[in-house]
A = this chain, B = another copy of it.
Amino acid sequence: MPTSDKAIGRLSIYRRLLNELAEKGKENIFSHELANLAGTTAAQVRRDLMIIGTSGLPRQGYKVKELLKSIENFLDDPAGQKVVLVGLGNLGRAILTYFAGRRPKLSIVAAFDIDPSKINKTVHGGCSCYHINQLKEIVKKEGATIGIITVPADAAQEVADMLIDAGIKGILNFAPISLRVRPDVYVEQVDITVSLEKVAYFARNPQKWSKGG
Least CB distance, A108 to chain B, in whole angstroms: 9
Contact A198 B148 (CB under 8 A): no
Q: Tell me whether B192 and A190 are in contact (CB under 8 A).
A: yes
| Segment at the B interface, from A92-100, A111-119, A127-135 | A92-100
* Inter-chain contacts of A204 with B (CB < 8 A): 77, 81, 145, 169-170
A204 CA to B73 CA, complexed, in Å: 13
In the assembled complex, how far is the CB of residue A122 from the closest CB belonging to chain B, in whole angstroms? Answer: 17
A59 within 8 Å of B (CB atoms): no
Nearest CB in chain B to that of A206: its residue:
B184
Residues of the B chain whose Cβ atoms lie less than 8 Å from the Cβ of A184: 206
CB distance from A92 to the nearest CB of B (A): 8
Copies in the complex: 2
Chain A interface residue count: which class?
Answer: 35 or more
Known contacts A90-B93, A178-B39; is-contact A195 B210 (Cβ 8 Å): no
- Tell whether, in the assembled complex, residue A199 and residue B178 are in contact, meaning their CB atoms are under 8 Å apart: no
Output the nearest chain B residue to A212 by Cβ-Cβ distance.
Answer: B183
Contact of A208 among B3, B211, B213 (CB under 8 A): B3
Q: Is the CB of A3 within 8 A of B209?
A: yes
A188 touches B193 (CB 8 A): no
CB–CB A2/B210 < 8 A: yes
Q: Find chain B residues with CB under 8 A from A89 CB.
A: 94
Rounded to whole Å, the gap between the CB of A158 and the closest CB of chain B is 17
Sample of 15 further A-B pairs with CB below 8 A, known A90-B98, A98-B192: A2-B208, A5-B211, A8-B198, A75-B197, A81-B203, A90-B93, A93-B94, A106-B200, A146-B196, A146-B203, A183-B212, A186-B199, A186-B203, A190-B190, A190-B192
